[in-house]
Structure 1
Amino acid sequence: MRGLGIEPYAYSWNRTHKATQLQEKYADLPAGGVADSDEDRVSVAGRIFARRAFGKLAFLGIRDDSASIQLYCDKAKLESFTQLKSTVDIGDIVGATGTLKRTEKGELSVYVDNLVILTKSILPLPEKWHGLTDIEKRYRQRYLDMIMNPEVAGVFRARAKVVSAIRRFVEDLGFLEIETPILQGAAGGADARPFITHHNSLERDLFLRIATELHLKRMLVGGFERVYELGRIFRNEGISTRHNPEFTSIEIYQAYADYNDMMALAEELVTKCAEAIFGNAKLLYQGTEIALERPWRRASMQSLVQEATGIDFSAFGSDLSAAKSAALSALSPRKDESLQTVIANCATVGNVLNEVFEAVVEKTLIQPTFVTNHPVEVSPLAKAHRSFPGLVERFELYICGRELANAFSELTDPIEQRARFEAQIRAYNKQLEEAAAAARDRGESAVKQHKNDSYEVTLDEDFLTALEYGMPPTAGMGIGIDRLVMLLTDSPSIRDVIAFPVLKSQQ
């Protein structure tokens, strides 16, 4: 038998027995039973989370990355028992060897004959959970959050399973993962504020990507037919329970397909992820049972808004004034002045429809629902609908009142694509001019307004050139991985499923 010591190199402990393995192997060991043959000798390692010492016995609860197990320390068997009682603390990482026994109370334990401190915890851990109630501290010190609450680590294990299940699923269907640039010369593929950085050698500004779309589409022009990328996206926008400036998405593009194919793909992909976590297609989110059995509900944006408000936007044609009047009347009980201002500033009937949908309908879509047939004004990269003028072949998937996926039959006409991009830039510039005028009316400087509200929107000429060489008929879809993990782990905030979320700076 060896004494208690501090072991500076822990390489010999990399083949320890996991707590779950021991619990399974010795599940039939009765209370008071001992397994002390040479074949039953084990080595375990983990962090101490509980410590009780009295008389000639001490009990240490340790936790590895699978589960917890008890160390049974007997003065008669462990020479360094007295030193152990005065040296070992909660938070220390230890290694122990011994045989297995089950206490009279039924606790499976390692009957220790050797124990070493592998890492000494200098800072004391909070007293159980009561010492770590500050939600901001939990996010800032995620390592401490995981030590004190194993369920937090469980969320990230579930996240890893989801990501692995997605990759296996799409690659089994023949999709290839492509890496696209994070630093881009033009921020395209979405309507979002980019992060801007400067490349010193090139003497030019570059943008962190707001989407992977335009580069993945270039791959289809080059001859690939099924591509995807699962990676980080960056948008310089607000932080909330649903939004983090840095998030993860998967974008999938399939040649010779349309948005109906993407709906089927979305159903199967989300269901596969649920099965990877739960083993079935049912889940509970914040007390509400979500049924993922297929097929999922499909409804047009216009029909959902009409169902909620009684307004039939298809009847307005291009009569913007009538659309605004009807929308403002329907939304007046909400007494939301900012929303009323947004409606009043809408440039088209399609924009009004979209704003009403987001304000009234979105949060009510609890069970899986494909919202289809969006206005062309809010879908600059989607193909015009084959049956309904003014609409596009697009869907957004909503579950629990949150958008989970966005997909459409891709626009492949370079002339139409250029016209839509140019219209988008004109609308943005007009918005900037109006904001600048409003700032001047408030007595604010144009410099301050530009810094706070504006960013450059440019045409991606190379993408348009690529389209001119011809892209096959294509369907594309983006799925927010963080929101999907929120759903599958019953997490109320996006910060709960991102290991290191962006937070305000500490004062």
Structure 2
Amino acid sequence: MSDTKNNDQYKNIIHNEIQTRKIKMSHMKNMGFSFPNNFKKNITSKEIHHKYQNENINELQQLNITVAIAGRMIQRRIMGKASFFTLQDIEGIIQVYIQEKKISSEFYNNHFKKWDIGDILGVTGILFKTKTGELSIYCHNLEILNKSLKPLPDKFHGLSNQEIRYRQRYLDLISNKKSYNIFKNRSNIIMHIRNFMIENNFLEVETPMLQNIPGGANARPFITYHNEINTEMYLRIAPELYLKKLIIGGFERIFEINRNFRNEGVSTRHNPEFTMMEAYIAYSNYEDMMKFTEKLFKSITKLLFQDTIIEYDEYNFDFNQPFYRLTMQDAILKFNPEITLSDLENINKIKNIAKSIGIKIQKNWEIGQIKTEIFEKTVEKKLIQPTFITEYPVEVSPLAKRNNINPDVTDRFELFIAGYEIGNGFSELNDVEDQKNRFLNQIKKSNKKDNKNIFYDQDYIEALKYGLPPTSGLGIGIDRLVMILTNQISIRDVILFPTLRPYKK
């Protein structure tokens, strides 16, 4: 009862404060406030600290530097006829000192003192240092640029409620500098990937997000409807087939940083809307693409950390070292010592192994499919250091080229770091008859439920008839990569607006 009573009291306090702020806003409008947008800032808090932090009191006084800065008031100490308040902008915070005698008694008492924490202000003044050595602004002119009608969370002591952080990201960014830095790093990572690709002679291209047939991955699509052409369409689950059509058309090194949509699970590792980078290199194979992937990751970490060694959770990763390599079969044997090679080659034995670890086997599964399920169940989360897993079975790799020595597996790799699948790549299947048969075989083997998600792409088969050069492809999950590089365990912490269930009041 006491918790409920306290919660009700808190809600009443917040409600009353909101009403008070609304009254203040109404009064401001009556006095002529019109949301001014002509304040011009000429510096940020970070620039102020960077340029002038080492100046002493006398040096700053002699320099007589005037600055104009804008931001949100997050703290205030009123001391009679003078006050200190803290202004927060995109880069950090700066202290401001204001005196009644400098800006007028009427403005100080009837305006400034009635403003609230969270209000957005424009400050013009002279830089100085207090007796305690804190770099500050002596305010000569002050104006309110917008009023905050709702109080900041917990009086700006921080926002720790994860549900609120995800649903109201703006409050998270205001309250938590760590969150801002994560998303700034995300932007830097994407920018560097783009720059790296362009520097390596790739051409950035764009492919449709609305598609007549969703292809390039086996996933349940989001379905929409185009009124003008009177047909169902699908949100892109992958750009792969369109990108390979461009290789057929003559491009040799292309990439796309793309948004994909899969109408499936929501978890700490999955978001239905996610970002990928896909790249294709003509006249190369999956071995070349693995080397290229290592080079890309090394470059990213050097840019972000000026080092190739990063920390994630309890682990250290050195991206200057060659990544580990294991075939899928060898990985299963390594992490499951009770399983033998002969077990993996015998359909009855491998079925019994799968059943013993809780895998529900479908009637049409062959050894390769079952082997993959065992790998995903028992191995993936144990692949901590950067590791390429190769030789995926043909059954689970419908777009990858068969291995010349063992046609039951493909020239494909997946990259795992900290138990996450980060990337997927392979030598592209360019045998049109083999590709056609694999598409048809997928449809034949799928059950009625899966059949709605599997399409025969006649247009892609027609494109292949003109000849796809020997090509390697790569897809990197940007969101999971950002998780690793910013040391986050949930994908929701690296997506500004993650997909959430509707809020129930």
Same fold (TM > 0.5): yes
Question: Amino acid of the residue matched to residue 492 of structure 2?
Answer: R
The one of 479, 486, 498 aligned to 1:501: 498
Q: Secondary structure at the match of 2:380?
A: helix
Pick closer, same or farther for the CA change 1:318–1:300 going to 2, 3 Å: closer
Q: What residue number does 1:48 align with?
A: 73
Q: What residue number does 1:438 align with?
A: none
Question: Where do 1:11-160 residues align within 5 Å?
Answer: 11-13=38-40, 15-30=41-56, 32-33=57-58, 35-36=60-61, 40-79=65-104, 80-128=107-155, 132-160=159-187
Q: What residue number does 2:367 align with?
A: 349
Shift of 1:20: 1.2
Question: Amino acid of the residue matched to residue 359 of structure 2?
Answer: Q
Question: Where do 1:406-445 residues align within 5 Å?
Answer: 406-428=424-446, 431-432=447-448
Residues paired across the two proteins, number: 472
- Could you tell me how far apart the structure 2 residues matched to 1:362 and 1:128 are? 44
Encode CA deviations 1:347-399: one digit per residue, 9 max, x unaligned: 11111111111111100111100111111111010001122231110100000
Q: What residue number does 2:291 align with?
A: 264
Q: Secondary structure at the match of 1:46?
A: strand
Shift of 1:317: 7.5
- Could you tell me how far apart the structure 1 residues matched to 2:71 and 2:168 are? 20
Shift of 1:311: 6.0
Q: Secondary structure at the match of 2:316?
A: strand
The one of 456, 460, 463 aligned to 2:460: 463
Question: Amino acid of the residue matched to residue 365 of structure 2?
Answer: A
Contact preservation (8 Å) 1:5, 1:116: no
Q: What residue number does 2:413 align with?
A: 395
Shift of 1:346: 6.2
Contact preservation (8 Å) 1:7, 1:117: no
- Could you tell me how far apart the structure 1 residues matched to 2:83 and 2:211 are? 60
Asked if 1:487 is matched to 2:484, the reply is yes
- Could you tell me how far apart the structure 2 residues matched to 1:317 and 1:241 are? 32
Pick closer, same or farther for the CA change 1:10–1:270 going to 2, 3 Å: same
Contact preservation (8 Å) 2:218, 2:454: no
Question: Amino acid of the residue matched to residue 368 of structure 2?
Answer: G
Contact preservation (8 Å) 1:7, 1:116: no
Asked if 1:340 is matched to 2:354, the reply is no
Contact preservation (8 Å) 1:318, 1:348: no
Pick closer, same or farther for the CA change 1:461–1:314 going to 2, 3 Å: farther
Q: What residue number does 2:282 align with?
A: 255
Pick closer, same or farther for the CA change 1:196–1:141 going to 2, 3 Å: same
Question: Amino acid of the residue matched to residue 21 of structure 1?
Answer: E
Pick closer, same or farther for the CA change 1:317–1:489 going to 2, 3 Å: closer
Contact preservation (8 Å) 2:443, 2:451: no
Pick closer, same or farther for the CA change 1:136–1:345 going to 2, 3 Å: farther
- Could you tell me how far apart the structure 1 residues matched to 2:445 and 2:214 are? 16
Q: What residue number does 1:162 align with?
A: 189
Q: What residue number does 1:444 align with?
A: none
The one of 218, 241, 249 aligned to 2:245: 218
Contact preservation (8 Å) 1:5, 1:117: no
Pick closer, same or farther for the CA change 1:18–1:35 going to 2, 3 Å: same
- Could you tell me how far apart the structure 2 residues matched to 1:156 and 1:299 are? 33
Q: Secondary structure at the match of 2:103?
A: coil
Encode CA deviations 1:164-191: one digit per residue, 9 max, x unaligned: 1000101111111111011111111001
- Could you tell me how far apart the structure 2 residues matched to 1:231 and 1:496 are? 19
- Could you tell me how far apart the structure 1 residues matched to 2:292 and 2:386 are? 14
Shift of 1:294: 2.3
Encode CA deviations 1:77-102: one digit per residue, 9 max, x unaligned: 23233235522211011111111111
- Could you tell me how far apart the structure 2 residues matched to 1:239 and 1:266 are? 27
Encode CA deviations 1:261-313: one digit per residue, 9 max, x unaligned: 11111111122222222111111112322222221111111001001113667
Shift of 1:34: 6.7
Question: Amino acid of the residue matched to residue 488 of structure 2?
Answer: S
Q: Which deviates more from structure 2 when the two are superposed, residues 403-412 or residues 112-121?
A: 112-121
Q: Secondary structure at the match of 1:70?
A: strand
- Could you tell me how far apart the structure 1 residues matched to 2:176 and 2:32 are? 29
- Could you tell me how far apart the structure 1 residues matched to 2:286 and 2:394 are? 15
Contact preservation (8 Å) 2:70, 2:121: yes
Q: What residue number does 1:475 align with?
A: 472
For structure 1, the residue ranges without an aligned partner over 5 or more in a row are 332-338, 433-449
Asked if 1:361 is matched to 2:402, the reply is no
Pick closer, same or farther for the CA change 1:366–1:67 going to 2, 3 Å: same
Q: What residue number does 1:203 align with?
A: 230
Q: Secondary structure at the match of 1:340?
A: coil
Q: Secondary structure at the match of 1:11?
A: coil
- Could you tell me how far apart the structure 1 residues matched to 2:423 and 2:112 are? 55
Asked if 1:232 is matched to 2:251, the reply is no
- Could you tell me how far apart the structure 1 residues matched to 2:314 and 2:34 are? 48
Asked if 1:324 is matched to 2:338, the reply is no
Question: Amino acid of the residue matched to residue 79 of structure 2?
Answer: F
Encode CA deviations 1:189-229: one digit per residue, 9 max, x unaligned: 00110011111221211111110000000001111101111
For structure 2, the residue ranges without an aligned partner over 5 or more in a row are 1-30
Question: Amino acid of the residue matched to residue 194 of structure 1?
Answer: P
Q: What residue number does 1:376 align with?
A: 394
- Could you tell me how far apart the structure 2 residues matched to 1:229 and 1:482 are? 15
Q: Secondary structure at the match of 1:371?
A: strand
Q: Secondary structure at the match of 2:408?
A: coil
Q: Secondary structure at the match of 2:90?
A: coil
Q: Which deviates more from structure 2 when the two are superposed, residues 401-410 or residues 485-494?
A: 485-494
Asked if 1:277 is matched to 2:304, the reply is yes
Shift of 1:318: 6.2
- Could you tell me how far apart the structure 1 residues matched to 2:425 and 2:387 are? 13
Pick closer, same or farther for the CA change 1:265–1:311 going to 2, 3 Å: farther
Question: Amino acid of the residue matched to residue 92 of structure 2?
Answer: A
% same residue: 43
- Could you tell me how far apart the structure 2 residues matched to 1:321 and 1:380 are? 24
Q: TM-score, normalised by structure 1?
A: 0.89
